[in-house]
Amino acid sequence: ALAPTRAGRFAGVDGLTRARDVAGVAGAWIEEPGRELGSPEIETRPLGFLWAEAPDQSELEQRLRAARAALEVRVACRQRVA
């Protein structure tokens, strides 16, 4: 699961094409931007998921880690209205 790195407004994910290009990656789902995020310690709803196929558990974990490493979660600062 893809989790936020800090509180703010979810602005999207960069690197999705690179993540999908990792061998064995079968799919990805990323939430639409705009959701308000709490701090990572309390945020329980993931921002996305990756699916992959591999001949064994070790290779599967390696492929998912490589795909996740290609992704960068963008979080915008919250705007205060005076």
Residue 72 within a domain: yes
Residue 82 within a domain: no
Per-residue pLDDT of the chain (82 residues; tens, 9 = 90+): 899 889 999 999 999 999 999 999 999 999 999 999 999 899 999 999 999 999 999 999 999 999 999 999 999 987 666 5
Residue 1 within a domain: no
Residue 31 within a domain: yes
Residue 46 within a domain: yes
Query: What is residue 48's three-state secondary structure?
Result: strand
Residue 2 within a domain: no
Domain count, the chain: 1
Residue 28 within a domain: yes
Q: How far apart are CA 72 and CA 28, in angstroms?
A: 14
Residue 41 within a domain: yes
Q: Per DSSP, what are the bridge partners of residue 24? A: none
Considering the entire predicted model, what is its pTM? 0.84
Give the residue numbers spanning the domain of 63.
8-76
63 within 8 A of 23, measured Cβ to Cβ:
yes
Q: What is the pLDDT of residue 5?
A: 86
